[in-house]
Amino acid sequence: MFNKEEARIVRKEFWTSFSDYTNYYAKHVGEPIAWVLYKTGVKGLELKFDVDIKVVRVALEMNAKNENRRFDIFVELDNYKTILENNFGQELIWDDEFVLPEGKVVARVYVEWEGIKYHNRDNWPKIFKFMAENMYVLQNNFLDIQDIMIEKFGK
């Protein structure tokens, strides 16, 4: 097990290595990749990589402070479920009350891989592949409805 400083260093190395992997993955898909993440154009709606000790997630997260807005965004996304789930090798998980480790409640549409430990550097290539492939699909699917979401919920 790592102490806090060691864990911080591993986490930093993980994300730096993932950035390098993204450049490699961009060559694989034949186009530059710029992750949208928090630049969705809709306040309270973000694409997220979520890496914890034993789980990796790629998510479209509704984290608006206003619970009604968060729920409205979730319901609107559900109208486009077929588009968002297109090209995934597994079903997306739709959770309108996902509780973050700090106790905050958000809504999420996500895929996850449980039981994989990111502290083990031998797992990094598999984790990076999972993250890049799934975020690439989720992001592209979201971009297909982004204008609709911006029109409905503004910037």
Q: What is the DSSP secondary-structure string of 62-121?
A: E--SSHHHHHHHHHHHHHTHHHHTTT-SSPPEEEEEEEPTTS-EEEEEEEEEET--TTSG
Which pLDDT value is given to residue 107? Answer: 98
Which pLDDT value is given to residue 89? Answer: 81
Which pLDDT value is given to residue 1? Answer: 65
Which pLDDT value is given to residue 16? Answer: 96
Structure-token pair, residue 154: 């503004």
Structure-token pair, residue 41: 């154009």
Would you kindly state where each structural domain of the chain is located, as residue ranges?
A: 34-153
From first to last of its 155 residues, the chain has per-residue pLDDT tens of: 678 888 889 999 999 999 999 999 999 889 889 999 999 999 999 999 999 988 999 999 999 999 999 999 999 999 999 999 999 888 899 999 999 999 999 999 999 999 999 989 999 999 999 999 999 999 999 999 999 999 999 86
- 104 vs 63, 64, 84, 100, CA distance in Å? 9, 11, 25, 5
Structure-token pair, residue 99: 């509780």
Residue 122, helix vs strand vs coil: helix
Which pLDDT value is given to residue 7? Answer: 84
